[in-house]
Amino acid sequence: MSTGGNEPAEFTGRLMRTDIAPGSKSEREALVLETDDGRVLSVRRRGGPAYGIDESVEGASLAALAAGGGSRVALTGTVLAGTLLADAWRPIGLQGEAAPDDPPE
């Protein structure tokens, strides 16, 4: 896992929708990834809007993973100023559990 250089890396954890920057002019609901190593990163699709709803098909598919309290996901992207700019994403199972589309062993 990268600590946030210029190279894309894969991050795993729980993606959820939550309020960020409470009490500030920047307060808003956003996608947040709580990584398996304890980091908390705001998440948006690379090329998506910094504020507001990403109305693209790709943005909607990313947001759908955060619905209902969140999902475990793997996101590939670059961290810039505490925001993960996601290039690709996929749902994964619980730690130690296969994702629904993983072949059985």
Nearest to 100 by CA among 73, 75, 66, 76: 73
What confidence tier does 9 reach under pLDDT thresholds 50, 70, 90?
Answer: very high
Q: Of residues 9 and 23, which shows the higher confidence score? A: 9
State the residue for tokens 């090329």. Answer: 47
Residue 55 is predicted with a pLDDT of: 84
* Domain membership flag for residue 99: no
Write the pLDDT tens digit of every residue in 43-100. Answer: 999 998 887 778 899 989 988 888 888 889 999 999 998 899 999 999 997 654 444 4
Residue 5 is predicted with a pLDDT of: 58
Q: Which domain holds residue 79?
A: 9-91
Nearest to 37 by CA among 13, 15, 70: 13
Residue 103 is predicted with a pLDDT of: 42
Nearest to 62 by CA among 77, 82, 81: 77
Residue 48 to residue 58: CA distance in whole angstroms: 9
Structural domains of the chain, count: 1
Query: Taking the model in full, what pTM does it have?
Result: 0.77
Report the CATH number at residue 72: 2.40.50
* Domain membership flag for residue 4: no
